[in-house]
Chain A
Amino acid sequence: MPHIVKSFDIELGRLEEGLARMGGLAETQLAAAIEALEERDSGLAARVMADDGKVDAGESFINEQTVKVLALRAPVADDLRTVVAALKVAGEIERIADLAANAAKRSLVLNQLPPVAPMRSLIRLGRLALELVKEVLDSYFNHDADRALALRERDQELDDVYSALFREILTYMMEDPRTITPCSHLMFIAKNLERIGDHATNIAELTYYRATGKPVTEERTKRDVSAFIGAEPRE
């Protein structure tokens, strides 16, 4: 139901549009970063790095708009949750775009070195992360709490691929020390992509909160075991 005061709806709409624009931009950035890695396209990578500023500008807009609505409208109930969620989601999107830009930056170095085999798995990890980000943002803009909750579990898949990739990269480095430089960059990019999954998970939780007013309380199963690889965890 619309608000009696129409300008309130207009301002909330502006917030939602700004966030949607930002989300779309971050998706594009991540997709381009993955493509730049796969195609060894340094020109595309450079563009991703240059465009990161646009996402930052989007976040500044959301920050200003949020403070304005809070100060002038004193929103409550679902309006309040929308405004608070927008502020936090904008922060998550900015981090996602930032990690994508960092992956693009590292691809510039990788492009000057011979290709390494684990790149295939890295691309797979990237596609999974991109898909998760897309679906999570869709659920956010559709107020779909159930879908958000289901997507939150999908991050496990990312963790599994990441842990496997971590082992794979280690194996390559041990077999051929000449791959250590590119493989180290790959390792960092993999970590970036895994972090993107965590930010997407946060957006899923904010989607649930915004729609229902309840925080997500269930503990998510953590499957990223890479922190233990190389040594047995002590009891």
Chain B
Amino acid sequence: MADAKMTTRRLAVHYGDKLALKEVDLDIAAGEVTALIGPSGCGKSTFLRCLNRMNDTVESARVSGEVTLDGQQIYGPAGIDPVLLRARVGMVFQRPNPFPKSIYDNVAFGPRLHGLAAEGDEMDRVVQAGLERAGLWAEVKDRLHEKGTGISGGQQQRLCIARAIAVEPEVILMDEPCSALDPIATAKVEELIDELRENFTIVIVTHSMQQAARVSQYTAFFHLGSIIEVGATEQVFTAPRNELTQGYITGRFG
């Protein structure tokens, strides 16, 4: 395995009395795509949301254990400031959720918030670079001031990816980013994920086994709040070590 960009140790999450994640240890390889798979309610989204402290926004959630980014604790008194953390660990959600602003302002939002670029030529360049990396520039360059919500679903999702990468994060978390997209838009996002891997570490939650197989280098299988198996994606999909993994990915889950 490549160097770990992020690690979790004994990471557990309670929602009220309910234990959603049971002391999970996982290393997220730098510059690779890690897919989190498992049945609904297995804890994979909860795990993903711990990686940029999104669970802080859930009142009943209680997180224990350790999460590190480049060796630095992200929880606890010595933890990274959540706002800075979320600039370094970006997120793309299941439903495309562009702001009801122009395409330009959607991408410029993060850089403005964090004061990364001056308005004018510099911001223009940042917006163009973000859209180009998201493979959207050619499609929207003549309509940058139209509403971000007015483009197709696939384009909106790539706009959200452009928005996430405009602040130059190091890790991008994706929670079922293609579940609302058609196969062509899905293929474009998957191709984009593959290209983004050069510069970013990516963690993706997906319910599509085929998508996990296509886009990831490592796959972790979650079940009832624990990691059952983690390994190279090729190994997991050709010769899983665990019976539960095999049952789940082949559609024999009891």
Contact A1/B251 with A74-B210, A81-B238 known, Cβ cut-off 8 Å:
no
Determine, out of B169-177, B196-204, B239-247, the stretch whose residues face the partner at the interface. Answer: B239-247
A213 touches B238 (CB 8 A): yes
Determine, out of A2-10, A15-23, A134-142, A154-162, the stretch whose residues face the partner at the interface. Answer: A2-10
Chain B interface, DSSP helix/strand/loop, else mixed: helix
Q: Would you give the shortest CB distance from B57 to chain A, in whole angstroms?
A: 35
* Number of residues from B at the complex interface, CB < 8 A: 16
Please give, as numbers and ranges, the residues of chain A lying within 8 Å of B240 by CB-CB distance: 77, 213
B253 touches A76 (CB 8 A): no
Chain A interface, DSSP helix/strand/loop, else mixed: loop
Please give, as numbers and ranges, the residues of chain B lying within 8 Å of A78 by CB-CB distance: 246, 250
Please give, as numbers and ranges, the residues of chain B lying within 8 Å of A80 by CB-CB distance: 237-238
Is B18's CB within 8 Å of the partner chain A? no
Partner of A213, one of B209, B213, B239, B251: B239
Please give, as numbers and ranges, the residues of chain A lying within 8 Å of B210 by CB-CB distance: 74
Complex CA distance for A213 and B205, rounded to whole angstroms: 26
Is A41's CB within 8 Å of the partner chain B? no
Please give, as numbers and ranges, the residues of chain B lying within 8 Å of A74 by CB-CB distance: 210
* Number of residues from A at the complex interface, CB < 8 A: 17
B246 touches A77 (CB 8 A): yes
Count chain B CB atoms within 10 A of each CB in A4, A74, A76 and give the residue with the most.
Answer: A76
Q: Identify the B interface with A (CB < 8 A).
A: 209-210, 213, 237-240, 245-247, 249-254
Q: Would you give the shortest CB distance from A88 to chain B, in whole angstroms?
A: 15
The chain B residue sitting closest to A212, CB to CB, is: B239
Please give, as numbers and ranges, the residues of chain B lying within 8 Å of A24 by CB-CB distance: none
Q: Identify the A interface with B (CB < 8 A).
A: 1-5, 8, 74-81, 212-214
B247 touches A1 (CB 8 A): yes
B246 touches A4 (CB 8 A): no
Q: Would you give the shortest CB distance from B38 to chain A, in whole angstroms?
A: 15
Closest A-B pairs by Cβ, 3 of them: A213-B239, A1-B252, A76-B237
Complex CA distance for A80 and B210, rounded to whole angstroms: 13
The chain A residue sitting closest to B248, CB to CB, is: A77
Partner of B250, one of A76, A213, A214: A76
Q: Would you give the shortest CB distance from B252 to chain A, in whole angstroms?
A: 4
Count chain B CB atoms within 10 A of each CB in A8, A78, A212 and give the residue with the most.
Answer: A78
Partner of A79, one of B213, B250, B254: B250
A4 touches B253 (CB 8 A): yes
B249 touches A1 (CB 8 A): no
Please give, as numbers and ranges, the residues of chain B lying within 8 Å of A212 by CB-CB distance: 239
A214 touches B239 (CB 8 A): yes
A77 touches B238 (CB 8 A): yes
Contact A3/B250 with A74-B210, A76-B209 known, Cβ cut-off 8 Å:
yes
Complex CA distance for A81 and B209, rounded to whole angstroms: 17
13 A-B contacts (beta carbon < 8 Å): A1-B254, A2-B252, A3-B250, A4-B252, A5-B251, A74-B210, A76-B249, A76-B250, A77-B237, A77-B245, A80-B238, A81-B238, A213-B238
Complex CA distance for A1 and B240, rounded to whole angstroms: 16
